[in-house]
Amino acid sequence: MSDPRAEDGGAPPQRPVGALPQRPDTPCVAVCSTTFDEICRGCGRSVAEVAHWVSMSAEEKERVWVRILAQGYPRRNT
**pLDDT per residue as tens digits for the range 37-51:** 899 999 999 999 999
The dihedral built from the CA positions of residue 70, 66, 68 and 25, taken in this order, carries a sign that is negative
**Cβ-based neighbours of 32, under 8 Å, separated by 6 or more:** 40, 42, 43
* E strand map for the chain: none
Q: How many whole angstroms from its chain centre is CA 24?
A: 6
d(CA 40, CA 15): 31
Is the pLDDT reported for residue 4 higher than 60? no
**How large is the average pLDDT for residues 48-75?**
96
**How large is the average pLDDT for residues 61-73?**
96
Q: Model pTM? A: 0.71
| Pick from 11-15, 22-26, 34-38, 52-56: least confident | 11-15
